[in-house]
Structure 1
């Protein structure tokens, strides 16, 4: 029946292609009653008893395994053998896929067969797809089949056949999706199926884990954190109507069991993946999210999406691990009208209470990170602006970090934010010199028994979230962060060196050197590292700091930096960032002809100044006592300055021959260097654990493991 429908679809008008699922989709994203009536009486999954594979079949697949694994053969021969073996599996798919040993053979067959045999196998499994997907061995078989389908999608001639196959499977799943959604193996299969329909990699960590590096970057940086605007929204959708069908009908079928689905760790992950993949499709999200939240969708047209009776229940649900993760995604993808309603009805006046909870504080972080207007920031500030010290003492530094980043992103409450953080860290009668050290060792300071006698601890790793807070602070306008500048420039030489070697501390040093602080203030810090630039240059974290120091330095300091790197050229060439650093600073040129190196530096500085005076923004002038490289990236116009620097580098590459060899010519190669593997290594897992909760995702410490 499914195949006949699909054949009819192939010649139909694309505007009515949604009819292939047995009904039309209305404006709310819900399919019409024709399909609902067909599945009005769901077939509940019975307990699955694994059948024994008969000896003759076992022997056959053992021989097949030896044939395809023990000998070399060309692709066509292998495809024929795999296809014939899958034909022999007809009618026995469940028994074979759930057999621990034979399932491995089936995986090899599915990877090597043609798309016709692959789709045939999946269609034969359709009625028992849920049973196979919920089995420990069977789940690997169907995931292998889905990955093989994704590979065959590279040939556009296969799209219709693959869509027919996936449609057959999806129709069987949505009859009763609750069991497979709540199963640890079935949940992963469903997420892979959703990803396949959307056209994203099936093993993408962004859709299979509770935290993604991109989400963390959006939360704690100044990037606009809208899921619809990211790379996922720009991907080619493989089967958009099938994705909408599967996502919508799973919700409609599971509506009665939603109280269970939204708090179960496995079904929560399916719902999270579904919402992420539907990002940007406002009508579908306006229909889906209220269902997940336990609200009626009848009032959607009137704009009353969140019922008042559901508010208190939602607040208590945010203390559940699975639902708190789900709520984070909801806030991330929610259309503006729904986000505003959630903000006002659910979160207003409850932010500090939620922040106090080990699960709820992550939801607050998501809410703050996706705030869109200064009016929303005002409401957030009313609840949390005076609570910085309380939050830090409770270990909720992630909430503070999100709030600082949001103030910087929306240019709202920047001055008050800096003052509030300083007041939480440093008493009125204390010197501001203590601010940066205490933020760098945030937990160490706040959990110490004698705070009044706290000193810089030796050999202690610097706090990830504290580092992120300071990085955001140093992106604020210079007039708001004078106490932080005083503090960081007052660090002892040994402390600056230790910070430069620490993965978190070095980023704070670099953030300061890229800030709006004056060149004189930056050089005050750079001087403290004199005599240690060679040591830092071969260090995995310090090499980036050396480059920032060079950019911020004057002529004499630059000469001192490069002179310390000359004896280490051989060692630097063996490190990851070393070759780039050698080219950028022209260490070899300095070693051979120091006088010409100085001339090239002077000429470059002069050319940059002339270019800047001619084409730079009128509101920012380059004074004689400031290094252009130190002050080029002014925060007031970051995007314009980046474009200008590209134009400058391009212009200077044309005048390089006038200065003899080299140094300016190297500027043209910087782009290659940056693209070829000079990205700074970051520990994603560590960032995910530390960045958002001030020492780990406490929701998951007891028993939770999603994948």
Structure 2
């Protein structure tokens, strides 16, 4: 190898005038160096990886084979190691219903060009050293203390070469391993040394992973308060490097992620939790399936570095104030700004200042009663139609103080809600407005503009707006009945009312796309619309007196339609919500009876099995016996299915097979205990019971949550009574009496033996 280098050196000196040719030649020289000097990399399965030159952005699609997937979600495609030309699109999740309506990439958003950074070539000795380190620490078991020493010593060799090594595709992986195993001192020293070129490292595909690994390792040391001063010193140096030119980092797909990780560290929140933007989470919150603002509460622990966070955000915004319009429109900077809003949750003054800046305020400070002074309102209405800014506005509405939310609704968005609901991006802002409404007055304004437009929204495919308004009416207990009536009227009128309400909501998209709506019928083999199912699930959580037309509609479904819905992932959820509701047991059993003869096939179906369990709970003794008898021949198949073993235990199918009469007696005993318990401890209005009714009949006016808790508690206790024919309460009393008699006998015997021992001693 050295001989080859000596022969080529004179040639390299003669070609200094042709710089590009020299770089290409250097790249060719590096290939044999990897194969000979870095033999250790063979065990890591890096085939065709070049230490000095990597494929450019347009070569990514063809040259990404044969490379092992790395940790931290790194993509296998590579870019040129010298110039930052990578602008891959990162998916942006808004966390809303109908998220597929919003394009994930804003065509009008153009990436901000980064300053070219040509890193120095890594010399062969350094490359060989880190290859040997990789062999020594990867895939081998080493004592933790010894590993920490090796990692620390290796990191010391990176002094002055952090940018070159961190942005190298292969060595960057070794650096990540070293940063995970080194001590806190070496970790902080490495980060401080990176500060000089932090912007270039963070904006690089490989370098960003190195920095994030270092930040993640720092988070593990936050548990010890003695480490805070050392960590804070290192973070201050990084922050000073960032605020010099934050715009370039914020608008870069890799740099954006690094900044979000840094903000997580300031907040003291796990990186995975803070970066989580799953649409299902946001949708669950908007539909009241999770506690209101549950995300806000989870993201408000005791801040580790509160003053440093405020100063960093303040200086970063001051430096980037002239580029706010650019940051508003860029999808990557929008993600950073959303994370900043989450980080400041709970700090009302800081949030107020930040939001005013993001809204384009030109005034220095807000005036009481006019928080939007100096903010161009028309500009906001235009920006919410852009993908990146609509996501940012959703976060603003979520974390805005109540006074600012009130002014945004009344002074900016009022009289524009329906127009915004018609837009593929702005409609998500309307959903956020409804989801974060603070009072009934806010709900009145929203209802005034959208309450009569449900049919238009359904026809435009903006059902997510309707769902958000429905959930808001339930949360604020305002316009609940009117909302249910408006939804029913928007899908069904004339002779089909109310029978056709539930089928048309279940197949919203199919119904509103049909040309002949008057002759529309249940489309067999078509999946049930997810949002339609969610609407019905929300409606069945309301008091039964408000939803009588929906009850009539669902109990009027054909038997084969109920069976088909029970096998659908969204349909089974909607049927379960009906059976879990506070509707009378008589109406529930009317629906359950439509599945007679199909309980066996449903019990082995992945979705229908859940419906069978709910049917059993809502049924009387005769229906329960029917359900179990239909499942009995399928015991072998049930034992092999996912939900089957649970159903076998819950329904006690084995007990029914052995002794049907005893099984009936136990079911009656359980029901008797539930009735006695609820007659004693339940609400006064529920102490009268119908004949042949189970608990679902008698507590239709009680709260579903309390009923579930009571039922779980009693069923757990009843498990011990499964082998007895006697009523549950008598069984428990007899046990206590027997136990007390046994204890008295034991005490009496102990007393007699003690007296005998005393006599012997005397």
TM-score grouping bracket, smaller chain normalisation: 0.7 to 0.9
1:641 deviation in Å? 3.5
Q: Aligned to 1:219, which of 263, 286, 290? A: 286
The corresponding residue for 2:343 is 277
Counterpart-to-counterpart distance in 1, 2:701 and 2:191: 56
Q: Distance in 2 between matches of 1:374 and 1:626?
A: 43
Corresponding residue SS for 1:203: helix
The worse-fitting range, judged by mean Cα deviation, of 431-440 and 194-203 is 194-203
Quote the residue 1:313 is aligned against: 379
CA contact (8 A) 1:425 1:435 kept: yes
Structure 2, gaps ≥5 residues long? 1-112, 732-762
- Using the alignment, how far apart are the partners of 1:377 and 1:278 within structure 2? 27
**Partners in 2 of 1:427 and 1:207 — Cα distance?**
46
Classify 1:626/1:147 alpha carbon distance in 2 versus 1 (closer, same or farther; 3 Å). farther
**Contact 1:352-1:383 within 8 A present in 2 as well:** yes
- Cα gap change, 1:88 to 1:646, in 2 (>3 Å): same
Larger gyration radius, structure 1 or structure 2: 2
Deviations 1:20-61 (A, max 9, x none): xxxxxxxxxxxxxxxxxxxxxxxx984322221122222222
Q: 1:667-682 maps to which residues of 2 (within 5 A)?
A: none
SS in 1 for 2:496: coil
Secondary structure, counterpart of 2:593 in structure 1: helix
User: How far 1:143 sits from its partner (Å)?
Assistant: 1.0
Aligned to 1:69: 138
Deviates more, 1:636-645 or 1:347-356: 636-645
CA distance in 2, matches of 1:240, 1:576: 48
Match of 2:243 among 150, 174, 181: 174
**Deviation of 1:649 (Å):** 4.4
1:375 aligns with 2:441: yes
In 2 relative to 1, CA 566–230 (structure 1 residues): closer, same or farther, beyond 3 Å? farther
User: 1:174-573, aligned counterparts within 5 Å?
Assistant: 174-204=243-273, 207-209=275-277, 211-221=278-288, 223-226=290-293, 230-233=297-300, 235-296=301-362, 298-307=364-373, 309-573=375-639
User: Contact 2:363/2:374 (CA < 8 Å) preserved in 1?
Assistant: no
Aligned to 2:100: none
Contact conserved, 2:582 with 2:704, CA < 8 A, in 1?
Answer: no
1:151 paired with 2:220, answer yes
Which runs of 5 or more structure 1 residues have no equivalent in the other structure? Answer: 1-43, 666-707
Question: Using a 3 Å threshold, how does the CA distance of structure 1 residues 573 and 660 change in structure 2: closer, same or farther?
Answer: farther
Whole-angstrom CA distance in 2 between matches of 1:660 and 1:88:
79
Distance 2:315 2:604 in 1: 56
Query: Hey, what's the Cα distance between the residues in 1 that align with 2:582 and 2:341?
Result: 40
CA-atom RMSD in angstroms: 2.5
| 1:545-596 CA distance string (max 9 Å, x none) | 1111111101100111122222333333333333332222222222222211
Q: Distance in 2 between matches of 1:589 and 1:363?
A: 55
Retained in 1: the 8 A contact 2:586–2:697?
Answer: no
* Deviation (angstroms), 1:130: 1.4
Structure 1 residues 627-654: Cα deviation after superposition (integer angstroms, max 9, x where no partner): 4442577565344434444554466567
> Larger RCO: Structure 1 or Structure 2 (Cα < 8 Å, ≥ 6 residues apart)?
1
Q: TM-score, normalised by structure 1?
A: 0.83
Indicate conservation of the 8 Å contact 1:227/1:279, yes or no.
no
Matched residue, 1:59: 128
TM-score of the pair, normalised by structure 2: 0.77
Contact map agreement 2:362 2:375 (CA 8 A) in 1: no
Change (3 A) 1:663 1:560: farther
Structure 2 CA distance for partners of 1:179 and 1:92, relative to 1, 3 Å: same
- Contact 1:308 / 1:345 at 8 angstroms: preserved in 2? no
Deviation track 1:142-183 (CA, whole Å, cap 9, x = no partner) reads: 111112222333444433322222222123212321110011
> Once structures 1 and 2 are overlaid, which stretch shifts more, 59-68 or 85-94?
59-68
After superposition, the C-alpha distances for 1:643-700 in whole angstroms (9 at most, x for unaligned) are: 44455446656766765799999xxxxxxxxxxxxxxxxxxxxxxxxxxxxxxxxxxx
Is the contact made by 1:536 and 1:542 (CA closer than 8 Å) also made in structure 2?
yes
Q: Which of 176, 192, 205 does residue 123 from structure 1 map onto?
A: 192
